[in-house]
Amino acid sequence: MKRRNPTRQGLTLIELMIVLVILVGLMAIVGPRVLGTQRKADIRTAQAQIGSINSALKMYAVDMKTYPSTEEGLALLVESPEDERLAKNWDGPYLDGNLPVDPWGNEFQYEFGDEESEDAPDFPLVYSLGPDGQPNSSDDVGNVSKEDAGGDEGSSKGSSSRSRRSTKE
């Protein structure tokens, strides 16, 4: 009978450790780039959604001769107003399906028509609260930049809308 040379059946512990070190090193290099790309993609998605909402708001304003008030909100883009006098001019829905949510699962915020404030813009503000879901934070994404809104940064009404990351970037 012939004896066979024993063949290796698996990896040694040192070989496994070397493979793990290489994989961890690759993840340390590639991981941040992938996560940074996802963040940029989410921001661009939110900006595109805001652009779509702005287009729908413009179509609504053509039919209704004004934008929805802050209290009425974006819901008027997908459902007819209850007031029959207003409903006769409504030619929606202006958005397909339901109102979109931002890439982080939050509803888009909307502001328009605060006559009490002197520095209120004469166009609607549509914005996302960003990944943290908190208002007035640096990661908010919106349709107005600091330069577009004008005014001083310290005013109580305007600071929330002027701190949005502009879709014009």
All domains of the chain in start order, with CATH: 31-166 (3.30.700.10)
- CA angle, residues 35, 144, 112, in degrees to nearest 5: 125
Residue 44, class by beta-carbon neighbours within 10 Å (0-12 exposed, 13-18 middle, 19+ buried)? middle
pLDDT in tens, 11-65: 788 888 899 999 998 888 888 777 778 888 999 999 999 999 999 999 999 999 9
Instruction: Specify the pTM.
Output: 0.66
Summarised one tens digit per residue, pLDDT across range 98-143 is 899 999 999 999 998 765 556 656 789 999 998 888 888 888 888 7
Q: What's the confidence (pLDDT) of residue 157?
A: 34
Give the C-alpha separation, 155 to 126, whole Å: 19
Per DSSP bridges, beta strands 109-111 and 141-142 are: unpaired
